[in-house]
Each structure stands twice: as structure tokens, then as C-alpha cells.
A and B are shown apart, each in its own frame.
Chain A
Amino acid sequence: MLRILHQIFRTGIVTEPLPPAEETEIEVIGVRLEEAIKRYFRRSLTIREIDAGSCNGCELEIHALNNPIYNCERFGIHFTASPRFADILLVTGPVSINMEIALIRTYNATPNPKFVIAVGDCGYNGGIFGESYASLGGIGKIIPVDVYIHGCPPKPADILNGILKSIEDSRPT
């Protein structure tokens, strides 16, 4: 137990000291994000993530939002297990034919108002997997998308930026 406490104090708060280039970027995004969340979501923005057919690359970067360095909870963002509680659906992948129905059901289970953010190049147009018998292409072909975040995979800071954009550009209707 002492070792654990020691390690916690030794580690301190790592959220602040980011590498210079990224620090400014994340902090700027973060402050604006926090304000937007305060204004429209009463400090609590809840996200349901759906993998609609991705290679798992985007999932790794979405995961990283929860690590102590990006620490997305400081802005009031947290991930939920149920679409019923979600304000935002964060969707990855080209939509695979075997996930199409599950994606539509999850979308329908999410209460209005809601945003849909498609993460990654595959979520935009199918990416390298294109459109085929099994890959239906971008998320927008199946459910309405508010914001696309490009990249293969997009970096965690890009994902935070995309979330901010969705809030600022298209406030919940």
C-alpha cells in the first residue's frame, strides 16, 4: 500500500505538462470544450462509442482520451456503456454489413437531441476498405453524421477537437 501511495505522489498530476507543441493545442481545445460543455450540457457530456467495423486503430486512440495525459473527464466528458445515456455517438470504421443493423439500433436507442461523430478515414468514406459486398462505406451512408474527424487513425487531440466542433457547429436540436 505504501508503495502505491508513493507511486501516486511520485507521479503527481501528469495531465498538465504536455510536450510543448501539443500542450498549447490541447489546452486551447480543452478550455473551449469545457466552456461549450458548461454552456450546453451542464458540465456533463456523455459519449457512447460504437465500432461499426474498424480495424481497432481508432479504438486505441479513443481509449487514449481516458489516459491521465489527455484525461478527458476534466472537461466533463465521459464514456457510457448504454446509448440511452448518451449525448454523442462516436462511431468508427467503415460500416460492415454485419454491423449495419446493430449500428442503426444503437442510433435509435439514443435519445434526442444527439450528435453523431464519425471517427477516422474509414468512417468518412470506407477508407482503404472502400465499398464492397461487406463494407458499406462511410458512417454517413447509414446514419446521419454531424462531424467527421479525419486521420488514420486521428490523434487523440484531433478527436477532442472534433468533439468540440460538433458542439459548437451544431448545437443540439
Chain B
Amino acid sequence: MNVLIQITTSILGSDARQDNSQYPATMPLYQIPKERFAEAAKSMKTAGARLVAEWATDETSFGKGFGIYVCYAKDSEYLIVKTYTPLNDPTFPSLTKKFVPAYRFERQMRSLMGVVPLEHPDSRPWIKHEDWPENVYPLRKSFDASKPIPRVKGEYQWIRAEGEGVYEIPVGPVHAGIIEPGHFRFQAVGEDVINLEEKLGYVHKGIEKRFESISWEDGAKLAGRVSGDSTVAHALCYSHAVESMTGCNPHGRALWLRALMLERERIANHLGDIGAICNDAAFAFMLYQLTILKEKLLRTNLKIFGHRFMMDKIIPGGTSVDINKDAKKEILAEMDWLTNEFERLVTIYDENPSLEDRVRDTGILPPEKAKELCVVGFVARASGQEMDCRILSPFPPYDRIVPKMTVLGSGDVHARGWVRVEEVRDSIRLIREILNSLPEGKIREGFTPPSPDKSGFAIVEGWRGEIVYWVQSCPKGGINRCMVRDPSTVNWIALEEAIHGNIVPDFPLCNKSFNQSYSGHDL
């Protein structure tokens, strides 16, 4: 039995009631009283669980108040804990002092839903910028989302450092390269960074609110555009969540094709990232070599799947594209070619001392910090955390073809790069296995929308790490709430930690080694 449930029920007794409207059964939901919310969190902390996500819902259409949800995980087990707070007293106990990631989740809940985390150490808004009116809460049902928000005068209170020789470097939101917008503010003495503060939210386009006004089928399209580089992983996670609510089981062939696309997405992004890390250490050769490989993969995607990033190819109920025998042969041949080309470049990376000098011991995220911050994905694995939900909580076909987990302890730029190298190798192996055991059959099952008053939860290991979706149907049958948690939501804060003690010119290198999504974070 789920250890997290045992702990919760043994401490809270009959105060913890299981909610049977939550799917799938392996992702249970327990409702507890608000006054015991912090106590439950404390027991989770003691048990060594991590905080996966925290979010709020407006459940007025169910005749209730605001729902406050928090998801914990330990190894392969997940538990969602929920409590209610009435409309006339929208407050709840803050968990920030127990779990670091709650810090930004709760600022966001306060900013967008207007539920106040009591005793939260930071009352500044998050995502919501300083020029939004104070009492605007877009995620509330009473909010009119059709009109732009009026601007007011406001000023963001930055963290300040004072003293002789301390100076500030503001960067962004428009950055120097072809990248997404965000603001970084450094306090530095000479070349040394003494503090970095991130301000994000620039690409907030109201994705979570948008979900509430579109159909279940269109939801997969929107999920595929939460972060364009992870379109397969997001669409897959959304589809898993809504399929769990309807009992829709896509045929084996569809499941294997989905995994094929997921691994191809992983390889393409990792190739680009390894190249970009080298480029930021002034080794442009590697970037150009690896972008050739990446471009060829994307062209194969276009030819076989009909889209360079495979957008809209994963839909609730299966996939919208099938592959034939020739395509299978072509991909297998491509994997042989890729292995040959990639290994040649890896040797060059490995034998280059001046590159090694830049990437080793730079931007260290120590394992204990990684655990405290509850980071996920390759960032976590490069800092000694054993986690990969393809392995710990496998969904088909990963129960049949087990990925290899690469865990390194040094937590530096090199480790984050090398985890990617190993994952490219492993994804090539997985793609071969998938193609060799691809079952025959239908690629699409009929999908009927979920019935009212249910919720579905799903996790998928995208190339950045664990993606989480929690979807709730409203009494009339549409989407009441769709909570999206990209790996970036929890990983961004780790960059602030990793940059301590590094020099300003190494920031781009550190940032590239994390390569978190702005759009996936800002939603």
C-alpha cells in the first residue's frame, strides 16, 4: 500500500477522507480539514517526500469555495491532499517553510486566484506583474477573461545588496540571443555573483484560464503549445490525465508510437542543448556539428510524422499519425547513422581539456540542495537524485522497455551535459526496441469526454523532466480547471542557487546547462 496514504491516515485518522472522484486509482486524493493542512505537510516532510505541485481551484460551480491542493511524491508513490477554504475567508496555511517549491506556487496562487497563504515570507506577486491592479484574480470564475487587464502604477521590490563595491546588473526581459524573455538581476562584487534574483511571468498568456473555455479535444492542442520544445510530452501528459477520467485505453500500437515520438523529442532537444552548452564555453564547432544532426532528425519527423516537432500528433484516445514499414526502416537506419555521428562528437567533447575546464565545477547544485528544492529531470539526476517517472511510475510501453537512469553526483554544468549525452544514447536504444516490438493495431480509440465532477492526474517524463497535469471536469461537463506543472516551475529556482560563487561571465553557461522553459513556467 501507498506509504504516503498510510502516514496521512495514521496521523489524521478519520479527518482524512479519500475522494473517489480522482483518477487513476494509483494517484489518490485525500481531503483533510484546513486546520490540519500544515500538520499533514510536516508529516510528509518527515517521511522524506517531495512537494510536486501546489495549486488552487475555484469550485463555486460545485457549490463549494476554493480548493487548495498539494501533491507529494516519494519514490514511485504520489498523493494529492486537498482542503477547502470558504469564499469569504480565502486563506490557507503556507507550506513554504516546510517545502521550498511552495514559495513560488503560493505566491502564484495568491496572485492569480486570490487565496492568501498565511505566514508566507514574501507578499510580492508572482506571474502577475506590479502594474496589474491588486484585486484582479484571473483564475476565479467571476473574472471576465475576455478583456485585457488595465495597467496601474506599481513598483517591484527587488532584493537589494549593499556595501562597498556592490553593483547591480539588470538583464532582460529582451535577451541578447534568440531566446524567451525573462528578467535576471545580479548583485555582484567585481566578477563574483553574490546574488541572482529571477523575475518571470513575461510570457504569461493565460494558458490555464484558456483551458477552461475550450473543448477536451482542443485541450491537447493547447497543451502541445505550453512549451513548444516539449510539445509531445505535454500533449501526452494531458491525454493521459483525461483518458484516466474516461477509462479510455488507447491500443498498444498508439502507446508505442507515443513513446517513439517522446524519445525522438528527447534526442532532438538534448542534441541542441549539448551543442549550446559548448557554444557558451566558446566551442562553437560543437554547436554547428550537433545542429546538423538535430536538423536531420527534425526533417525525418516532418517526413514521417508530418511535423518537425510532431505537434498535434498525440491526441486523447491515441495518435493522429501512423508509420509504415518504410518509415520504420528509415528511422532504424537513421539511428545507426546518428550513433556513429554522435559518438564521434562525444569523443571530441570528452578529450577537450579547455572545454572541461569551463564546464567542470561551474554552476554547482549540490545533491542536498537539489533534494531540498525538489527539482526534477536531468537537473535532479545530475545532482544525485534518482528520479525518472518512466522508470519509477512507468506507463506502457516503459513497463516493457526499461530506460536506463543516469545519475551523477557533481551537480555542475558538466554533469547536466553528460546526463544528456547518456540519455541520447539510451533514447537511441529505446527507439530501436520500440520499432522492433511495435505491435500491430489501431492507432486511435473513440474518445468520449469525461463525465462531470471528476479529476484526472498524470505525470510524464519529458526531456526536461517530470511534467504534471491535473484536470478537473465541472458539473456541466467542460474543463473546470487544468493545472499544468512544467519541470521548469520547480527547476528555475535551482539556477539562483547554482550561480552562487560563480562569476558573471559564467552565467550564460550555467543558464544553458539548465535550459528551463519560460513559457512552460509562465503559462
Same complex origin of A and B: yes
A57 contacts chain B at the CB level, 8 A cutoff:
yes
Binary CB contact string for chain B from 285 to 305 against chain A (1 if under 8 A, 0 otherwise): 100110110110011001000
Binds B, one of A26-34, A35-43, A63-71: A63-71
B345 and A153 contact, CB distance less than 8 A: no
Which one of A63, A96, A155 lies within 8 Å of B205 (CB-CB)? A96
On chain A, the residues within 8 Å of B309 by CB distance are 57, 60, 153
Q: On chain A, which size bracket covers the interface?
A: 35 or more
**Bound complex: CA A68 to CA B145 (Å):** 44
Question: Is B406 part of the contact surface with A, judged by Cβ < 8 Å?
Answer: no
Q: B328 contacts the other chain (Cβ, under 8 Å)?
A: no
Give complex CA distance A66, B285 in Å: 13
Rounded to whole angstroms, the CA-CA distance of A99 and B180 in the bound complex is 11
Shortest CB–CB separation between residue A127 and chain B, in angstroms? Answer: 8
Give per-residue flags for B140-161: 1 if the beta carbon is below 8 A from chain A beta carbons, else 0: 0001111111000000000000
B42 within 8 A of A: no
Q: Among the listed A68, A96, A133, A136, which residue makes an inter-chain contact with B292, where contact means beta carbons less than 8 Å apart?
A: A68
> Is B163 an interface position by the 8 A CB rule?
no
Residues of B within 8 A of A99 (CB): 173, 181, 202-203
Which residues of A111-153 are within 8 A (CB) of B? Answer: 127-136, 152-153
Which residues of chain A are near B347, meaning CB under 8 Å?
3
In the assembled complex, B452 has its CB within 8 A of some CB on chain A = no
Interface centre among B136, B174, B221, B288 (most CB of A within 10 A): B174
A-side contacts of B181, CB under 8 Å? 51-52, 99, 102
A49→B285 CA distance, assembly (Å): 23
A81 B177 Cβ-Cβ under 8 A: yes
Assess the A51–B207 pair: CB atoms within 8 A.
Answer: no
0/1 string, B173-202, CB within 8 A of A gives 1: 110111111000000000000000000011
In the complex, residue of chain A having the shortest beta-carbon distance to the beta carbon of B269? A60
CB distance from A81 to the nearest CB of B (A): 4
CB atoms of B517 and A98 under 8 A apart: no
B204 touches A96 (CB 8 A): yes
Cβ contacts A to B, 19 pairs, < 8 Å:
A14-B292, A54-B203, A55-B225, A55-B519, A56-B517, A57-B231, A67-B295, A68-B292, A94-B205, A97-B129, A99-B202, A102-B174, A128-B221, A129-B225, A131-B148, A133-B144, A133-B146, A133-B206, A134-B149
Measured CB to CB, the residues of A under 8 A from B are 3-4, 7-8, 11, 14, 19, 49-64, 66-70, 79, 81, 83, 93-94, 96-99, 102, 106, 127-136, 152-153, 155
Which 6 A/B pairs are nearest by Cβ-Cβ distance?
A: A57-B228, A81-B176, A134-B206, A67-B291, A55-B228, A135-B205
